[in-house]
Amino acid sequence: MAVKKESGATDETFTSGGGVKYSEAVENPAFKKLMSKKRKFIAPLTVFFLLFYLSLPVLIITSDVLNNSAIGPITWAWILAFAQFAMTWTLCILYVRKSAKFDKDAEAIIEEEERKAKGDHS
């Protein structure tokens, strides 16, 4: 849904195509709940991603544990490096699936706010 800034509006007064003001929509309890759910989903995944991603360079710099053989001539450094590719794809797939649900919830909130806006102006 397109969002435009009203002429002469402050930075916080944006409207959707249906006349919903962002400054009013953020006060909606459903919007607050949606934002809370998004934070609870995104924050732990971000922390996990950063820790997993940084583990390879940190372990290589600080120890020799990744130089040990895992499978024949393949060392643990290679295993961890390829695991990062798998982790990235897995997190991406999880986020895309979960964001579809967030988008549906956001659309429902926008529709609710549009109904309120039409009711106020009628």
pLDDT tens for each residue of 59-79: 999 999 999 999 999 999 999
Residue spans of the domains in the chain: they are 29-67+74-120
Q: Which of 12-16, 17-21, 43-47, 113-117 has the highest mean pLDDT?
A: 43-47
User: Is this prediction's pTM over 0.75?
Assistant: no
- If one compares 3 and 59, the residue with the highest pLDDT of the two is 59
Between the CA of residue 110 and those of 31, 53, 96, 98, 100, what are the distances in Å? 9, 37, 21, 19, 15
